[in-house]
Amino acid sequence: MSATQPTALRGATPSLLRLKRGEERRLAAGHLWVFSNEVDTAATPLTAFSPGGHAELRSARDAFMGHAYVNPHALICARILSRRAERPIDATLIEERLAAALELRRRLGAPDFCRWVFGESDLLPGLVLDRYGSVVVGQSATAGMEALLPVVAEAVQCLVNPTTLLWKNDTAARELEGLPRETQLAFGPLPESLTVREGTLTFEVPLGAAQKTGWFYDQAANRAHLARYLPAGSRVLDVCCYAGAWGVSALRHGAASALCVDAAQAALECASANAARNGLGIDTLRADAFEALQQLGARGERFDVVVLDPPAFIKRRKDAPQGQAAYRKLNQLALAVLKEGGLLVSCSCSYHLAPEELLAAIQGAARQAGRFVQVLETGGQSPDHPLHPAIPETRYLKAFFCRVTGAVG
């Protein structure tokens, strides 16, 4: 690693951050987040820290809890990067974490096209890295990780030597940390598009139209599982299609046709291009998901498979009742265009919607529509998005594969 490092990594003694009495239990169980109301601010004022500064975290009884970075202005005011007193936050630690994450993805079999780093689950809170062959796209969600980006960039170069590292830091979560939304090149040329390989398929996403870091690798395993449920010559409806991954995958696995629906024209153009890129063809419909399903139902259209992969309807816990109603309505509209014995793939990426709540939305929709649902398989995020067992926030994606028939009994 280079000798040029942020000041916090050059051997300065970290400041002390002390917890209130009894507030160490969740951290001792493995969680990495410290909330501002858990800190003994009389003994260790948060105002003494600048955003991104480092601290040695200790309990009220002076037990060492970890080395953390701090943002005094955020509700989650500190996040632990190391639990060993002799391993402070430095360039070596960051490179070791990245190397360990990379080794896991190599074992999973697709290290060049995957989520390389999934934040807390890879013990790098606030950091996401996705690989697109020789291009790496990252996001930093916290002030503490923002301060470490030069070190991260150097470690990325050392480990995989990509042509480009792009920071696509445009998420709303950054505003909670007092960070601007921006896109910056760490190094290399700015690509016009991102290339993805998923199984035997190749996709491209124009960078200007890319959502999040560009591709939803978290659904790759669920898309692969779809193949076992596809009737030969089936007609597929891909709702909220983005770049066409579900629809194109279904065609590759034997579907006769796929209609891809999205509200964005750029997404539909991307989906069509991706189908053609793989020697396939799709139909497209530009419309809001709810409006599209209503239109299709009114026309008497019927499909063998309907895939619902909408954006999160519940961004905050207080939005849960309204979001649950939206999931129920969307599934009810989908059931209305699904053939007898057809397959419904219903997904949600809302963390604040529990799996059983999505299942209740599906069942409520089925009862309203007079249909009977059998859940054949449940899915979650792909293995390159591992769960941290002590951090429920790392588990967010739900998918139910359901057979749907007429009312029974």
The Cβ-side half-sphere exposure at 263, using a 13 Å CA radius, reads 6
SS3 385: coil
DSSP secondary structure letters along 188-245: SPPPSEEEEEETTEEEEEEGGG--TTS--GGGHHHHHHHGGGPPTT-EEEEES-TTTH
Cα Rg of the chain, angstroms: 23
Burial, 322: exposed, middle or buried (Cβ in 10 Å; 0-12, 13-18, 19+)? Answer: exposed
Tokens 């629906």 locate to: 261
Cα–Cα distance between 404 and 342 in angstroms, integer?
5
Cα–Cα distance between 329 and 232 in angstroms, integer?
29
Residue pair 164/134 in contact by the 8 Å Cβ criterion: yes
Other CB atoms within a 10 A radius of the CB of residue 256 amount to: 14
Residue pair 214/225 in contact by the 8 Å Cβ criterion: no
SS3 167: strand
Catalytic residue among 114, 260, 349, 402, which? Answer: 349
Residue 349 catalytic?
yes
The residues facing 64 across adjacent strands are 58
Cα–Cα distance between 214 and 217 in angstroms, integer?
9
- Residues annotated as catalytic (active site), given as ranges: 349
